[in-house]
Structures are given as structure tokens and as C-alpha cells.
Structure 1
Amino acid sequence: MARFEFKLPDIGEGISEAEIVAWHVKVGDRVEEDQGLADMMTDKATVEMESPVSGTVIALAGEVGDQVSIGSPLVVIETDAAEDHVPASDAAARAELAQDVAEQMGAENPGAEEIAETPAPPPVRAEPVEAPVADTPAAASAPVLHALASPAVRARAADLGIDLTQVKTEGDRVRHSDLDAFLRYGSGQGYQAPHASNARADEPIKVIGMRRKIAENMAASKRAIPHFTYVDEIDVTALEEMRADLNNNRGGRPKLTMLPLLIVAICKTIPDFPMINARYDDEAGVVTRHGQIHLGMATQTPAGLMVPVIRDAQDRNVWQLATEIARLAEAARTGKAKVEELSGSTLTITSLGPLGGIATTPVINRPEVAIIGPNKIVERPVFDGDEIRRAKLMNLSISCDHRVVDGWDAASFVQGLKKYLETPVLLFAS
């Protein structure tokens, strides 16, 4: 037998380590060439690692959630090639080798967390204590306590698990009012309803993979960026009417949602407010105002929130945007989004869709300086001069980095969006 160390390859530009989010094998498993070994997550994507050889797994780099450095051993496989110092029949030698390899891999991956599972101590069980009984005539003839009560009161007390001898009463028998008083003000010591509790057991969940990346990124954004949020109300009655007309005449093109129309409005407004479409390098102290609009689209997936990027959104029409939105959302939800499709955004839009809400205060996707959040469309009566009409209204939120964007700039940008959204014919004007 020969030992083959499969070292974690460079799976992304500038990546120094990756997180184990799933193992597809365990120690002792037989693997074939090109068989999946593990899923590794970087800041940008999840990549499946495949075995380059066939053999038996004798060591793994760590547990799910551990970090492995690029170039460090991820899996050690005992192959069928000959090697003098490990006889194939010597199980003890293989076990010793596996232990040595595991120790070596732990030393080469100092960033991996060692999780010690300490068994919980056995529950302390109270032993029954037998009270001494005095062997006296008085003890032998002690009366047995017996509470007087009607059959209905006894049945109710039994259902509630109440010992009637513990219920105080002003009369000679226990009544329903006495049970009520006991429940409200009584001894309260040790009383529990006999019914099973609806409470669920505590469930510890290790924060790993995409959820850990989201937690780290959001925490970094809130720590580093002084956020402020501006919200304005937009009348989208005409926009919704135009969207309905476009959908009724779309032919074989995709159905339009509000999102591609909003993106067109953003792209038309950005040239007048270039500080919105920017990224801030904290360490270098440089703000880059981007000429191209690479729009991040916050997308909820089974693995957590992902942000696929619509490249060069400024060069796409509403139908092209609708097609790209559907493609990227599907790729993100099915885990098929490529690394380059999940990075490089210059501005992000986040929408809760039909959940909407009245207003949102979204967290900026660092190092960007702004994030836009449309909210739910609602119908309300509005004054139009002296007339009252039915209108479709939508609140639009924008969170900005106050180090780069002033409140006046954010408000002015939203007013620019409002002009296009409330006069939607301008969306199609050159």
C-alpha cells in the first residue's frame, strides 16, 4: 500500500483557506477516482473536491465547520501502489499511520477549531428517603387525612393533578371556588398541570458554511460602516399599468416583475449620482466610482442569502434583465452559480418580494457604499388636487455609507428614481 495526501488546491484567486461544509466520505471508506470527497466553501462559492486516486480513506482534515489552509492535506488515501513500510495485512500499522497523519494534518491546519465533545454529566437522581416512623401507639393510630368534596370537584382536582388535602377551605368541604383560589394564590409549590408540555427541546445548531459567511460579512459591515437609511414613497400606479400591458404583449419573452423596471430606472439615474455606484477601500482610503453597473441581487436560497451579480446592467433592456434575473436566481438556489457570478458587484438591490413590508433598513454589502430595497406595493386612496383616486404606492429604502454618501445625495438619488418610476415612459426614452 502507498499513502497519497490530497492537498487542498487553490480554488479561488486570493483565497488562503476554505471551510469544510460537508464530507462525502469517512475514514475507512473505499473511494474511486473522481469520486466526491468534500464540499469546501470560500468567500465566493462552494466547490466540490474530487479524489484524484482510488483507495481507502485513512484520515480527514477535520470536522464540518473547520478551516483548512490552501496546500494543506485535506484527505489521506491509502492507494493500491506498493510501499514497503506499510504492509497491506498489518492493520495495526495502518491504524498507527492514520493517527500520525491525523496529528500531522491538525498541526498543518492551525486555524481549524478543535471541538471537544464533553459528555454531559449523568443526571442527579434523588434517592427516596425513608423517614423513621416512631413505634408508638400514637403513630400507629394516626388518622389518614381525607378532604371532603363533591364528585365533580374531585374529578376536576384529579384532572389538574391537585391533592385536595393541600387545598385550604373555609367550610367543611372543598368547592370549585377553593380550587380556583388554589390555582391563583395557593401553595404554588410543586404544582404542575398533568398535561404534556408543548415546549420543544433546545436544538444547538453549529453555524457553518454559508450561514457563517453571512454572519461574518454582516458583522463586518455593521462594525465598519456608519449606516443611514432613507425611505420615500413612490406612486407606481402608472408603472404597474405599463407592466401589465408589456406582459400581455410579451410573446415568448419572460414575464416582467417590478425588478427589471426598477433596475432600468437605477441605471438611468446613476450617471447623475456616481457616488452611489461605488466601492470604498477602507485600508487604502480610496473610493472608486465605477462607470459600469454590476448590480448585486440579494437572493434567498436553501443555503442562505447569496448575491449573484448582473454584469453591465446599464447595457441591458427590461427583457434581457428579466431573463438574466431568472437565470441567476435559479443558479443560486440550485448551487450552480459560478464564482465569477457571485463577486464584483458595485451596487446591490434587495427585495422581499410579496412579503415586502412597510420599510426596510438593509445592511450594505461591503465594500459597496449603498444598497436599495423596494418594499411591498399597497393600494390606498390619495389626494390628486381636489380629487381622491385609488393609487398603488410603494416605499423605497436606501441604506448608505455615511463616510461616502451624504443624506442629501441619497435623498436626491431616490427623487431621481421616483421621476422615472412615476413617469414610466421615460424608462424607454433614450
Structure 2
Amino acid sequence: MGVFAIRLPDVGEGIAEAELTEWHVKPGDLVREDDILAAVMTDKAAVEVPSSVSGKVLELGGEIGQMMAIGSVLIRIEVEGEGNETETPAEVAPTRSEPVEKETTPPPEPVQSEEPVAAAKPVSRTNGTKPLAAPSVRARAREEGIDLRQVPGTGPAGRISHGDLDNWIASGGIQQGGVTRGRNTGVEEVRVIGMRRKIAEKMALSKRQIPHITIVEEVEMSALEDLRAALNKKHAGERAKLTLLPFLIRAIVEAVREQPGLNARFDDEAGVIYHHGGVHVGIATQTPQGLNVPVVHHAEAGSLWDNASEVARLAEAARDGSIKREDLTGGTITITSLGPLGALVTTPIINHPEVAIVGVNKMQIRPVWDGQQFQPRKMMNLSCSFDHRVVDGWDAAVFVQKLKTLLETPAMLFVEG
């Protein structure tokens, strides 16, 4: 433990002493940094003195009404670690316990200068320096939600006046979370390079080339979620954990079997659509470097657990940067999901040159009318976008309804034929 002495600060105006008018603490009190310790009065203003440390009050340096010399010890506080007094402090100049008349000794003549006196400039406080201000200024700052540490003071020793508050507000102080802060005019230049440039080019190409049509449909997920939980419990520790994605991949495989035109790539320069027999499902994956779309190749040949394992492998490789080029190419249809951060509805951008993308939105409990009453059901919206140049609205709607049926009755995912 150490002892930290806080001295009466120089409040400016060329004064040598100030009258102690109010104590806010007493010996034995615990104080925190920035707590107000006392108020002193100069010839012109009252000023509150904040604490620069946290600790326990040991000793008060004066009594109410006492004139105290600038720089004399105002208060001593016991602090953790070392203080700023390593030995018994020397006695400060005697202070008077009662107000007295002004000294009759005339002040020294001011030194004349040939240079004009500059106007007062705002004083910048260094870190840890506490703002000086009259109680009325502090009260107004509290009422207006202004952090005085952010306000430049133009008074002596950086003392903040009501005029300084007016200038601060007029110059653009912006209130955020109850605290007024100055405008941040900094600009950081970030070049769009590497993966971010590739993503930007791909997104711009997709939006520029493809006229999107997006269909949103809600799906009741209760049965599928119950099945998923049961399968994970049955095969815990033996097989890959099932998320929603393997079920959705399986549903896409079944849906495009009836509509191969959606499992396709469109070479718009050559004017050729390539319908693929293999279903190569891209999984949009966020990585520290940006958005990647690793591909589950030949999802039609994998079981539920095969595809779950492959999704997990690809996601891990994409995030740690070890993914291979062949794992990022050849997709024929893409799934995109924001997981628990997802919204109710999204409008996914197609992964050019594919012609369809399936967007997964967040799952939540909603009231659903069963014909007699509302029942709580686990619901999720699908947002699916299509290239309207080669996919008609009717075909897009049929595809979405097929996904809805398969997800709401998950037993159909495992029925052959």
C-alpha cells in the first residue's frame, strides 16, 4: 500500500491561493478515480476538484473556509501499490483557518512586452489530467450528457466555462449512448485486393448479368428437427453430427431430379445451359478472409452422414485456409445461410454461372393456424433466387414447394422412387 497526495491544482487566473468551500468526502471513505473530492473558490469562480486515483481517504488537508495555497496538499489517499509520497511530506506553507483580508503588499509590476497578447486557446489535456470546471458547468454537462474530458477548456489551466460547452455543442458534439463525443473525421484507406476483390467482382458480375427472381416460403420444421435430434442422440460419438444442411442437401437432390434445369450452369456468352447429372452443392461459408463457397461434389451419391462429414470438412478447411482449389470449383447449385444471425427474409445473390441458390433463414417459434386454433410451431423461411433468363417463375415456385414438402415430411427424404 502507498500514500498518494493530491495537491490543490493551479486553477489559473494568476492566483496563489483558493478558499476551500466544500468537502465531498471524509477520512475513511473509499473513493474512485474521477470522484469529486472538494470544491474551492477563487476570486472569480468555484471549481470542483476530482480524484486522480482510487483508494481510501486518510487525511483532509484543510477545513471549510480555509485559504489554501496552490500546490499544497489537499488530501491524502491510501492506494494499492506505490503512492507518490515516499517519506513524511514536508510541511506546506501555513494556511489560515479563517478567511482574512487580502495581502496589502502590491503585486509586482507586469513585464511589458512589445508583442501583442494572443487570445486564449483551448488547452489540450494529457491522458489522466482531470478537467477543471465550476460546479454549475459540471451540473450542466451532466444534464446534457457531455463528457467534460472531451471538451477543450479555454480558461486558465484549461478550465472549462459555459462558453466552452456552447462552442463544443455548436461545433458538432454528437451524443452517443448518453455521452457527447466529438466528430471522428478520420478516414482509413483500405484497398480492395485479394479475396475481397474476387468477391466484389463475382457479386458485381452476378447482379449485373443475372435478372434475379426471389421466392420466399415458410416451412414448418418441427418434424425434421425432432428427427434430427433423435438421430444425433442415437449415433452420438459414432457418426458426424447432423445439422440442417445435410437434410437440405438431400432435399435439393430430390427436387432437382424432377427439375434438372435448376441444377445447371448457364454460359451466357455462348448461349448454352448445361444440365448436370451430378448434384454439386456449394455451401457459402464465412471465413476470416471473406466469403468462400466450398462444394460438396456428387451429393446425390452420399448418405445423410456422408454429406454431413463432407460439409464439416470443407467448412474447417475453408476457415483455416487449407482448402484446395478443386473443393471450390464445379458447383451447380448453392446453399447460403447466416445461421443463428439470419433474418426472417433474405434475397440471396446467385453464384454465377449457376442458375439457382437456396437461402436459409433463422428458425423460430411462431403461431400457426391448424384450422381450429393457433399452435406454436417451429418455423423457418426459405429464400430462393433464380436466374429469370432461364428459369420461369412457375418452375421456380414448383421447386420451392417441393423443398417445402420434403422438409416438412422428412420421411420422404429416405423413400426411394
Please indicate the TM-score interval, normalised by the length of the shorter structure: 0.5 to 0.7
Larger Rg computed on CA atoms: 2
User: Shift of residue 407 of structure 1?
Assistant: 1.3
Q: Secondary structure at the match of 1:403?
A: coil
User: Shift of residue 385 of structure 1?
Assistant: 1.8
Structure 1 residue ranges, 4+ long, deviating more than 3 angstroms after superposition: 130-133, 150-164, 186-201
Structure 1: gaps (5+ residues): 1-129, 134-149, 165-175
Change (3 A) 1:156 1:374: closer
Q: Secondary structure at the match of 1:354?
A: helix
Please list the CA deviations of residues 349-401 of structure 1 after superposition, one character each: whole Å capped at 9, or x if unmatched: 11111112101111111010111111111001211121332210000011111
Alignment of structure 1 residues 358-369 onto 2, 5 Å = 358-369=344-355
Change (3 A) 1:309 1:385: same
Aligned to 2:308: 322
When the two chains are superposed, the root-mean-square deviation of aligned CA atoms in Å is 3.1
Is 1:427 matched up with 2:413?
A: yes
Please list the CA deviations of residues 71-99 of structure 1 after superposition, one character each: whole Å capped at 9, or x if unmatched: xxxxxxxxxxxxxxxxxxxxxxxxxxxxx
Aligned equivalent of 1:307, options 280, 284, 293: 293
Please list the CA deviations of residues 314-338 of structure 1 after superposition, one character each: whole Å capped at 9, or x if unmatched: 1111111100000111111111111
Give 1:277's aligned amino acid: N
Change (3 A) 1:198 1:151: closer
Q: Secondary structure at the match of 1:345?
A: coil
Is 1:350 matched up with 2:336?
A: yes
Give 2:229's aligned amino acid: A
Aligned to 2:192: 207
Aligned equivalent of 1:297, options 271, 283, 291: 283
Contact 1:308/1:328 (CA < 8 Å) preserved in 2? yes
Alignment of structure 1 residues 38-53 onto 2, 5 Å = none
Give percent identity, aligned residues only. Answer: 51
User: Shift of residue 153 of structure 1?
Assistant: 3.4
Structure-2 separation of matches of 1:152 and 1:368 = 68
Aligned to 1:406: 392
Q: Secondary structure at the match of 2:350?
A: coil
Alignment of structure 1 residues 155-304 onto 2, 5 Å = 183=166, 197=182, 199=184, 201-251=186-236, 252-304=238-290
User: Shift of residue 257 of structure 1?
Assistant: 0.4
Contact 1:162/1:191 (CA < 8 Å) preserved in 2? no
Change (3 A) 1:197 1:382: same
User: Shift of residue 200 of structure 1?
Assistant: 7.6
Give 2:249's aligned amino acid: I
Structure-1 separation of matches of 2:182 and 2:171 = 16
Change (3 A) 1:381 1:189: closer
Alignment of structure 1 residues 382-421 onto 2, 5 Å = 382-421=368-407
TM-score by length of 1: 0.57
User: Shift of residue 304 of structure 1?
Assistant: 0.8
Q: Secondary structure at the match of 2:260?
A: coil
User: Shift of residue 237 of structure 1?
Assistant: 0.8
Change (3 A) 1:288 1:157: closer
Contact 1:157/1:163 (CA < 8 Å) preserved in 2? no
